[in-house]
Chain A
Amino acid sequence: MISIQRLRKDFGTRTVLNELDLEIPAGQATGIVGPNGSGKTTTIKALLGLVKPTSGDIMVDGKSISGEWEYRNKIGYMPQIARYPENMTIGELFQFIKNMRGSDTNRDRELLEYFELDNEIDKRMRALSGGMRQKVGAILAMMFDPEILIFDEPTAGLDPKSSVQFKRLVHREKEKGKTVLLTSHIMSEIEELTDHLIFIVEGNIRYDGPMRELMELQQEQRLEGAVAKMMEETAA
């Protein structure tokens, strides 16, 4: 269970997050949508402790994360842009993060096979394509079997086949009772994967609730239409 309380973040004079109040339900998948620069990534980064809030607090399982780091044992994160030390091989990278987390999971093997990367394990990072790096990022997020999974535009660089593979995997994780947090610009993806929706515009929450309700509210069959309508309303 993640709860964000009056979270505010200013970069200089610009307010990126304006007193955000959010409850991200446990065991469900939550999608965060919003226009570019609306504060989605900043919210996620604040949750990970990468960005320090100007004011407000974030609680994970009832405990404030301010100044803490152990809580990140519960989190797997896949960033928007994934870049790794160029000379490291995939296998070494995984071993490295395993050492850091003090875990000896074997799940990376299984996931490598799933993404058909098991023959590339000795390849250097610089020899990998963008899509392969994305997959490595996805495996890194999931290999420790954390309770909370955070994906920041996960399928942006994936081909259709890999994208489907990825979504199937997220589905499975969700079924296992994981808390999933996902940002994306692809509405069909959000529709497919998540139950709960958060819509952010310029650091303010415009909608926070079950996705179905939003679609009923806006009288739209597809999420894309509903979100587009909402964006128009905010612009007006």
Chain B
Amino acid sequence: MKSLTILKYQWKDLLRGKWIVGYGLIYLLIADAMIRFGNAGPKAMLSISNIMLLLIPLVGIIYGALYLYQTREFTELLLAQPIDRPSLFWGLFGGLAVPLAVAFAVGTAIPMIYTGMIITASTQSILLILLLGIVLTLLFTGLGFWFALKFFEDRVKGLGFALVSWLFLAVLYDGLVLLAVFAFGDYPIEKPMLALALANPIDLARITVLLEFDISALMGYTGAVFNRFFGSLMGISVAFSCLMLWLGIPLWRSQRQFDKKDF
């Protein structure tokens, strides 16, 4: 119950900050532009998901970390009130992650509605993209929280690690995978490739999108392997359960850390 009270006030505070509205507007503009250029087909949706796969992790992880640093004194004040730490943790997390997820979902959905894409395109694909965006938001905000709690006294370190993790997962990872493919191309490396794909939440989300649109050959080696190995439906469910693990573990660790922490 107390989590909800915190949640409510934080939403209000975030909305006042206008920052979150701007964040939603970015998605609105992107989705609008992509639908205009891509003729409301699967191409538009692919473009939207490509941008989403870069932007959501970045904003989630950086803002997640920054947020805990910014609200440090306020957190201390709340901790001095009669509230248990898990409630406060979930209140803080929900107070940030939920508005970020809503800003993304609403910003992306509005152009789809007024361009009529929601009727012409497959509902399943639209819902999948929105759902993936929401999961990625929660996941990377959780990772950001984890970094901030791990390096609570040293915000430069915390933010640095957050930024480097994003760079690694979103940009460098695929390059390294390709490099591995080049180097060990003569060996049967499909299983290690699968493991590599499972180890990166952004790759997991990307593979889910690829499998949904059935164009895995276009985007990266990992997608192709995944497709061949699992077949579409199986692939999606495996990727999604791995995503859930990626969502759960950092949050669980963060909450434990928050529980034991000295403020």
Contacts and interface: CB of A to CB of B under 8 A. Distances in A.
Interface string B1-33: 010011001101100110000000000000000
Interface footprint category on A = 20 to 34
Contacts of B261: 52
Contact of A75 (B9, B71, B80, B263): B80
Interface in A75-113: 75, 77, 79, 81-88, 92, 96-97, 99-101
B82 A70 contact: yes
Contact of B84 (A51, A69, A77): A69
Contacts of A73: 82
Given A52-B262, A96-B5, A100-B6, A85 B79 contact: no
A85 B82 contact: no
B123 interface: no
A124 B19 CA distance: 17
A45 B77 CA distance: 11
Interface residues of B, number: 26
B80 A48 contact: yes
Contacts of A72: 80-83
A84 B75 CA distance: 9
B80 A100 contact: no
B22 to A, nearest CB: 15
Given A69-B83, A87-B16, A50 B76 contact: yes
A49 B82 contact: no
27 contacts: A45-B263, A48-B79, A50-B76, A50-B80, A52-B260, A52-B261, A69-B83, A70-B82, A72-B81, A75-B80, A79-B73, A79-B80, A82-B73, A82-B77, A83-B73, A84-B73, A85-B9, A85-B10, A87-B13, A88-B13, A92-B12, A96-B9, A97-B81, A100-B2, A100-B5, A100-B82, A101-B82
